[in-house]
Amino acid sequence: MDKQSKIAILGFGVEGKAVLEWLEKHHYPEITVCDQNVDLESELPDGVSARLGEHYLNDLDDFDVIFRSPGISVLRPEIGVALANGVEVTSGTKFFIDQCPCPIVGVTGTKGKGTTCTLIEVMLKAGGRKNVYLGGNIGTSPMEFLDALNGECLVILELSSFQLQDLGKAPRYAVLLNTTVDHLDYHIDQEEYMEAKEKILSLQNEKSLAVLNKDYEYVKYYEPLVKGNLREVSVKGKVKKGAYVENGEIFIDGKSVVKVSEVKMVGAHNLENILPAALIAHELGVGIAEIAEVISSFENLPHRMQFVREVNGVRFYNDSYSTNGPTSMAAVDSFDVPTVLIAGGYDKGLDYKEWALKILTKPSLHTVILVGDTAQKMEDALVEAEGQLGDAEGSPTKVLRRNTMEAAVLDAYGESDEGGVVVMSPAASSFDLYKNYKERGNDFVAHVRKLK
């Protein structure tokens, strides 16, 4: 890419806007923004062209370089045609990693990425590390801080499968949390989803470090791809080199860090985020005492099992970031007091059989309120699971359907008694009713705030 290149930016979201700002700052003169939204033209700076509307991906071979946004798959046929015609296809993430002058910690997985990345950042800063930058899928494009970096800096990137698809270079430090079925509305199938995730390992070299969770089946698939130093984590017991939980304590390489009972975050599943974060932080020079202090004080991030408030003895939790069955199941498993679950949203092709079995067999979960496009699919899964379990195994779970978040919150409160919990953990994306999970979570919080 040079100053004579004709450049297209596909998608004008967070990453697309950051790419445009960087290109303009560096005086690239021929830039075109391509997006479905026909109303974007007024938002574009003078001198930037636009291809907007239904056919925004047509004739991409008119350009020399294409920056695709994460929501536009590299497997789209229009991009395939451009590649076949010699067009250079990149992304904000790929370009950043290729240009970054300092080490990168990359974190991916189906769930827990944002929490793990933020924990690493907080631990590093607690240990006195300066010039630490956090970006990626967590909400800040790394293109925003590319020009501020030098060799003394450290970057932490949350990486989705969308961002990993076409990487040409991997972060020096790679954390792969877990890989379950997700985003089948975007990926061809589970195998292609797994292949996207493997890029974070397969593109590393012998000087790299990779962290895998030994408790997941995927270890057999990913471990042979590791080219550098392999470290492991486990919540089920000791590992040879890594971080683990044993007898109610967290350890790093045999050194006791903190008791599990002292963990501040809600949800036992967060141990899967704490362990790799602590391990990476320790690898990068943070002491055990500083790591322990962070673990004992760090609270859940917004929209990730976030405590909202207590109303007449009923506690409300916002887990809007939950967009698949396993994350919602983990939320349900976090409580052993009477629980009401609010779930449902946009249908991205997921199977809810396993989720339904958890809902029906969790003794403390007495009511589930379904909203959104997936409500019928989830209710059908619950009916099917109830038939499989029979009277002996099933629980008397009440299933309600509501059309709005306001109605769901009001009825969840009405179904709850003092000492109980209401958790909104959708197990689905938000695009049927909201722009994103943050808007959905904020709507839930707003209605909870109104309760008296």
What letter represents residue 12's amino acid? Answer: F
What is the 8-class DSSP label of residue 429?
B
Q: Tell me how far apart the alpha carbons of residues 133 and 157 are, in angstroms, rounded to a whole number.
A: 8
194 has a pLDDT exceeding 80:
no
Instruction: Determine the pLDDT at residue 197.
Output: 79
Q: DSSP letters of 331-362?
A: HHTT--S-EEEEE--B--S---HHHHHHHHH-
Q: Which residues contact 428 (CB under 8 A, 6 or more apart)?
A: 323, 324, 343, 344, 345, 346, 347, 348, 350, 372, 373, 374
Between 278 and 240, where is the model more confident?
278
In which band, very low, low, confident or very high, does the pLDDT at 182 lie, cut at 50, 70 and 90? Answer: very low
Q: What is the dihedral of CA 68, 321, 324, 381, to 10 degrees?
A: -140
Instruction: Determine the pLDDT at residue 185.
Output: 47
- Cβ pair 162, 68 in contact under 8 A: no
What letter represents residue 382's amino acid? Answer: L
Q: Which of 68-72, 181-185, 366-370 has the lowest mean pLDDT?
A: 181-185
Helix (H) or strand (E) holding 421: strand 421-424
Q: Tell me how far apart the alpha carbons of residues 120 and 134 are, in angstroms, rounded to a whole number.
A: 9
Instruction: Determine the pLDDT at residue 193.
Output: 65
Say if strands 104-108 and 173-176 run parallel, antiparallel, or are unpaired: parallel
Taking alpha carbons only, the member of 97, 98, 34 closest to residue 61 is: 34
Q: What is the dihedral of CA 416, 420, 426, 427, to 10 degrees?
A: -130
Instruction: Determine the pLDDT at residue 352.
Output: 96
Q: Which of 23-32, 348-357, 404-413 has the lowest mean pLDDT?
A: 348-357
Instruction: Determine the pLDDT at residue 441.
Output: 97
419 has a pLDDT exceeding 90:
yes
Instruction: Determine the pLDDT at residue 186.
Output: 43
- Cβ pair 423, 331 in contact under 8 A: yes
Instruction: Determine the pLDDT at residue 234.
Output: 97
Average pLDDT over every residue of 352-372: 95
Q: Tell me how far apart the alpha carbons of residues 320 and 441 are, in angstroms, rounded to a whole number.
A: 5
Q: DSSP letters of 14-63?
A: HHHHHHHHHHHHTT---EEEEES-TT-GGGSPTT-EEEESTTTTTTGGG-
47 has a pLDDT exceeding 60:
yes
Q: How large a percentage of the chain has pLDDT more than 90?
A: 81
Average pLDDT over every residue of 135-143: 91
199 has a pLDDT exceeding 90:
no
Q: What is the dihedral of CA 34, 40, 43, 44, to 10 degrees?
A: 20
In which band, very low, low, confident or very high, does the pLDDT at 190 lie, cut at 50, 70 and 90? Answer: low
Exposure string for 29-56, b = 16+ CB within 10 A, e = fewer? ebbbbbbeeeebeeebeeebebbbeeeb
H helices of 100-233, in order, are: 113-126, 161-164, 190-202, 219-222
- Cβ pair 129, 103 in contact under 8 A: no
In which band, very low, low, confident or very high, does the pLDDT at 389 lie, cut at 50, 70 and 90? Answer: confident
Q: Tell me how far apart the alpha carbons of residues 208 and 202 are, in angstroms, rounded to a whole number.
A: 11
Between 384 and 185, where is the model more confident?
384
Q: Which residues contact 404 (CB under 8 A, 6 or more apart)?
A: 371
Q: Which residues pair with 34 in a beta bridge?
A: 10, 51
In which band, very low, low, confident or very high, does the pLDDT at 395 lie, cut at 50, 70 and 90? Answer: low
In which band, very low, low, confident or very high, does the pLDDT at 165 lie, cut at 50, 70 and 90? Answer: confident
pLDDT digits (tens, 9 = 90+) for 313-345: 999 999 999 999 988 999 999 999 999 999 999
Instruction: Determine the pLDDT at residue 364.
Output: 95
What letter represents residue 114's amino acid? Answer: G
Total-model pTM:
0.84
What is the 8-class DSSP label of residue 264?
-
31 has a pLDDT exceeding 70:
yes
In the chain the domains, ranked by start, together with CATH numbers, are 7-91 (3.40.50.720), 100-297 (3.40.1190.10), 306-450 (3.90.190.20)
Instruction: Determine the pLDDT at residue 184.
Output: 42
In which band, very low, low, confident or very high, does the pLDDT at 73 lie, cut at 50, 70 and 90? Answer: confident
Instruction: Determine the pLDDT at residue 161.
Output: 80
Instruction: Determine the pLDDT at residue 187.
Output: 42
Instruction: Determine the pLDDT at residue 217.
Output: 85
Q: How large a percentage of the chain has pLDDT more than 70?
A: 95
Mean pLDDT, the chain, whole residue set: 92
Taking alpha carbons only, the member of 331, 337, 406 closest to residue 366 is: 337
